[in-house]
Amino acid sequence: MKGELVGRISSYFKRKGFKKAVIGLSGGVDSSVVCFLLADALGAENIYTYSLPYFEEDPDVEKVVEATGVNFSRITTKEPVDAICKLVGTEDELDMGNVMARVRMIMLYYFARKHNALVAGTGNKTEYLLGYFTKHGDIACDVLPIGSLYKTDVYALARELGIPGSILNKKPTAGLWSGQTDEGELGFSYEDIDKALKGNDRSHPIWKRVSEVEHKRIGPDII
């Protein structure tokens, strides 16, 4: 799996005329896998990673940086997120989470222009089908290196890549509010979700969500 993806990533960047990539690095399994793949495909010196936490930074971020040797910077998003939320008058956790994701997108695209790089997203196929992302936020990217992989496949690839065990063993979270976890928010484990998606079991309630969030997977309608 690793060799095929590294080859496809390398070919993609050559076709697009780019040699560098920018990634938002969270310390989770998805961004860690993308970082490892891109470092192999393009060379660690051509990868610019940014930790953009609102809360405390995940200590696993540094493990990924040390293991791959990529460029790294850390910028807290608390000040701009709080300013926007105060301006529009919201303290709602979901509203704030969406603002966080969109502020991160603004920063990543700023740095992509600065480095003449493409923004590599960290979303996987499971999240994409479920619409489990913020429009114009974490889904805003130029390429999704693991977008063809279900979440459970990402874990398998992570083990193949030698991703640190502390990353593999923790609960996935987008870090958009205190105590938030992906599976808690979705209401199902990723194992059960992927089983339903791969088995095409249309009677499973997960498929109702897939249908309901179709609007998040397509561009704006032209009427």
**143 pairs with which residues across the strands?**
120
CATH, range 2-216? 3.40.50.620
pLDDT at 201: 80
Pick from 157, 97, 93: which is nearest to 122 by CA?
Answer: 157
pLDDT at 174: 76
Pick from 101, 177, 99, 183: which is nearest to 141 by CA?
Answer: 101
Q: Residue 173 is encoded by which pair of tokens? A: 């979270």
Q: Residue 109 is encoded by which pair of tokens? A: 């695209």
In the chain, where the domains are located = 2-216
pLDDT at 203: 86
Count of C-beta atoms within a 10 Å radius of residue 191: 12
Note the pTM of the prediction, 2 decimals. 0.94
Pick from 73, 132, 135, 137: which is nearest to 100 by CA?
Answer: 137
Encode the chain (223 residues) as per-residue pLDDT tens digits. Answer: 899 999 999 999 999 999 999 999 999 999 999 999 999 999 999 999 999 999 988 999 999 999 999 999 999 999 999 999 999 999 999 999 999 999 999 999 999 999 999 999 999 999 999 999 999 999 999 999 999 999 999 999 999 999 999 999 998 887 777 778 889 888 899 999 999 999 988 889 999 999 999 999 988 888 8
CA gap 134, 154 in Å, rounded: 20
